[in-house]
Amino acid sequence: MAKYDFVIAVGGAPGQGIETAGKSISQICARYGLNVFTYTAYQSLIRGGHSFLTIRISSEPVANHGDKIDLIIALDANSVEKHLPHVSPGGALIYNSDDVKQEPERDDIQLCPISYKELTNDPDRKKIMLNVCASSVALQLVGIDLGVLEDIIVLSLLKRKGQAIVDANIAAARASYDYAAEHFTPFDVQFEKQDPPLAFGSGNMLMAMGGASAGVKFYAAYPMSPSTGILHWMAPNARDLGIIVRQCEDEISVINMVIGAAHTGARAMCATSGGGFALMSEAIGSAGMMEIPIVVVNVQRGGPSTGLPTKTEQGDLWQVLGASQGDFPKIIVSPTSIMDGFNTIPELFNLVDKFQCPGMVLTDLSLAEGHTTFVPDSIDWQPEIDRGELIAEQGQADGEYLRYQITDSGISPRAIPGTPGHMHVVATDDHDEDGGLISDEFTNPHKRRDIMEKRQRKMEGIVELLPPPTLEGPEDAEVTLIGWGSTHGVIGEAAQLLTEAGIATNHIHFKWLYPMDEDAVNAVLSKSAHAIIVECNYTGQFARFLRGETGFKADGQIRKYDGEPFMPHHVVDGARELLTGTDKTDLYVPYQEIVV
């Protein structure tokens, strides 16, 4: 089978069915067994503005939306004007000739004008099926059978809209498909079916599913983009899965309800973005003080303040590191891919249950709202569940129960409230072993020191269980690209492109961010030749954090903070700019920063 890497983009205004067209094309490719990764650039307007959905389709696995566009479906004249220059030579542009009166000027691509009025013979429908017409043309150009689209139309519309609407859409799809076969030249790349068919989902959906598989029984949220997709999956599936879902009036209520549910022994989770996380900060500290395990997902967007509600950034690392006042054990993890988001949630729940502390997930819009294909059987729907030292039955305590018993590990057996023989006090003030408030006594520094050291000893156990980053690629590479979280896929592809261009490059990526094992991490970093840190923020937050934790200072940085995610060429071009001369000793300019 021939290998190919093809990108289709859909542009238009909100309400024109951009998401529907993109989802249909992606689902069709998934049924063909093709690998898909999508990214949508859109504005924070209820109506109006411009949206642009990019769908990368490949015979091989892909983990970012790529560097090129082969075919654009322009649903309005504005999309033609904006994106005509972005079509790769040899590509094609599909547009509605009813709206675009002057033919676009590009002689190195195929122009594919279609008349919605002629294809549907129903101008009263106000172009509600234009996305179906244009998608059908696109499918014909890449050799996909129309029958798959017809099946999706039936499945998506029959129950909601009725048979008449289904018939009208199928008629428009057939007319457009046949018109394209008669008037346009197909691409040399023709999609072929691969086995097995694939599933298709977003990062938010897969994190929600990861929570369900981990045994989450309580989920709360206040809708805040770009985290709302988790709530959108949890709510309709809650009854079948035995999960209580609550949409609260604000994030303060959210986090306190989650803490309350977790206190009763339920696995409890919530999600928000940076602004909502700021409101949760004080309560996260109370979970740390009361030693209650919770999971909080922060889907980062551009900040500060309301910032860029519909754009991506890795700007909340220091916010999460400093969540709440004082010192207390916490775990911070940043999934490296859409699929890793599913796996990360059960992994984190096992850790926070074992060590009885808050856990925080740092993802971002590019992963959370991005979509990808996957083999359904590759998902472990029944991961191992470790609830730690959780007392749920009478008779497990030996004598008097001390909720905060001082132990060598720092972990005290935790009793579910109401368990006979295990009465205890839980409060946000600091306390002694039985929960009595230290501040109710005259100053007792010994008790404070003992209970603080008991809590912090957990960090030693956590570090031992967190895997350090690994070096991906040859150890003798000239360049090492270092990243964290969502940039894994794009940095990996950039490393490959640099190597193919004659600059041997490897890659070190961080998923488990805090706590960090200084010795283990330095052992990996010591294998890097000339290190460049890649991240989506202005100040190089991870570069500063890594230096503070390990003393490691990279030779350069590539930073991006315009609200859009990295594309492979951004990293490649940035690395090239950091390279000067041919003499090995002068190959790199010390500690430069490249902004793309």
For residue 110, give the 3-state DSSP assignment: strand
What does the DSSP assignment read for 225-282?
Answer: TTSHHHHHHHHHHHHHHT-EEEE-SSHHHHHHHHHHHHHTT-EEEEEE-HHHHHHHHH
> Which residue(s) pair with 471 in the sheet?
508
Q: Which two tokens stand for residue 187?
A: 């691409």
Domain boundary among 419, 440, 465: 465
Residue 292 within a domain: yes
Domain boundary among 465, 499, 530: 465
pLDDT bracket for residue 592 (50, 70, 90):
low
The contacts of residue 539 (CB under 8 Å, 6+ apart) are: none
Residues of the chain above pLDDT 70, percent? 95
The 8 Å CB, 24+ separation contacts for 101-104 are: 104/80
Q: How far does Cα 551 stand from its chain's mean position?
A: 29
Q: How confident is the model at residue 509 (pLDDT cuts 50, 70, 90)?
A: very high
- Tokens encoding 403: 């909720």
Q: At 586, is the pLDDT very low, low, confident or very high (cuts 50, 70, 90)?
A: very low
Coil, helix or strand at residue 113: strand
Mean pLDDT, residues 368-375? 97
In a domain, 366, yes or no: yes
The CATH number of residue 498's host domain is 3.40.50.920
Please spell the DSSP secondary structure of 118-155, one letter per residue: HHHS-GGGTTTTHHHHHHHHHHHHTT--HHHHHHHHHH
Which residues touch 519 (CB under 8 Å, ≥6 apart)?
none
Bridge pairing between strands 471-472 and 51-58: unpaired
In a domain, 385, yes or no: no
Same domain, 459 and 488: no
What tens digit of pLDDT does each residue of 318-364 get? 999 999 999 999 999 999 999 999 999 999 999 999 999 999 999 99
Listed residue (323, 352, 336, 383) closest to 462, CA to CA: 352
SS3 173: helix
Do 166 and 72 reside in the same domain of the chain?
Answer: yes
Residue 583 lies in a domain: yes
| CB-based contact 87:72 (threshold 8 Å) | yes
* Tokens describing residue 401: 């129960």
What does the CA dihedral 444, 450, 454, 457 come to, rounded to 10 degrees? 130
pLDDT-based confidence at 581, cuts 50/70/90?
very low
pLDDT band at 440 (very low <50, low <70, confident <90, very high): confident
Q: In this structure, are 213 and 175 located in the same domain?
A: no
Is residue 395's pLDDT more than 70? no
- Residue 5's beta-bridge partner residues? 58
CATH number at residue 190: 3.40.920.10
Beta strands in 148-215 (DSSP E): 199-202
The DSSP code sequence of 438-497 is GGGSS--HHHHHHHHHHHHHHHHHHHHHSPPP-EES-TT-SEEEEEEGGGHHHHHHHHHH
pLDDT (average), residues 487-511: 97
* 217 plus 103 within the same structural domain: no
Tens of pLDDT along 266-285?
A: 999 999 999 999 999 999 99
Same domain, 299 and 421: no
Last residue of a domain, one of 412, 436, 465: 465
Q: Quick one: 459 and 487 in the same domain?
A: no
Query: What range defines the domain where residue 571 resides?
Result: 471-595
| Tally of domains in the chain | 4
Torsion sign over Cα 61, 65, 68, 74: positive
The pLDDT assigned to 65 comes to 96
What do you get for the CA distance between the two ends of the chain, in Å? 37
Q: What is the CATH number of the domain that holds 310?
A: 3.40.50.970
Distance from C-alpha of 21 to C-alpha of 9, rounded to nearest angstrom: 10
Distance CA 338, CA 368 (A): 7
Q: What average pLDDT does the segment 288-303 reach? A: 98
Alpha-carbon span 248 to 173, nearest angstrom: 42
3-state secondary structure of 571: helix
Based on the domain organization, do 78 and 144 belong to the same domain? Answer: yes
Measured CA distances, 88 to 2, 7, 72, 248 (Å): 20, 10, 10, 47
Residue 286 has pLDDT above 80, yes or no: yes
Q: Output the pLDDT for position 585.
A: 41
Residue 521 lies in a domain: yes
> What pLDDT is recorded for position 524?
96
Mean pLDDT of the 290-302 span:
98
Q: Is residue 383 part of a domain?
A: no
Check whether residue 408 and residue 517 sit in a common domain.
no
Q: Is pLDDT at 397 greater than 60 in this prediction? A: no
The whole-angstrom separation of Cα 289 and Cα 311 is 34
- pLDDT, tens digit, 9 for 90 and up, residues 125-183: 667 899 999 999 999 999 999 999 999 999 887 778 889 889 999 999 999 999 999 99
Give the confidence band of 583 by pLDDT, cuts at 50, 70, 90: very low
Distance from the Cα of residue 357 to its chain's centroid: 23
pLDDT at residue 101 tops 90:
no
Same domain, 435 and 499: no
Q: What is the pLDDT of residue 394?
A: 60
Q: What is the mean pLDDT of residues 399-426?
A: 94
Are 278 and 347 found together in one domain? yes
Distance in angstroms (rounded) separating the CA atoms of residues 268 and 260: 9
521, amino acid identity: V
Residues 253 and 373 grouped into a single domain: yes
Same domain assignment for residues 503 and 421:
no
> Among candidates 509, 451, 449, which has minimal Cα distance to 484?
509
In a domain, 227, yes or no: yes
pLDDT of residue 33 exceeding 90: yes
Whether residue 384 lies inside any domain: the answer is no
pLDDT score of 165: 87
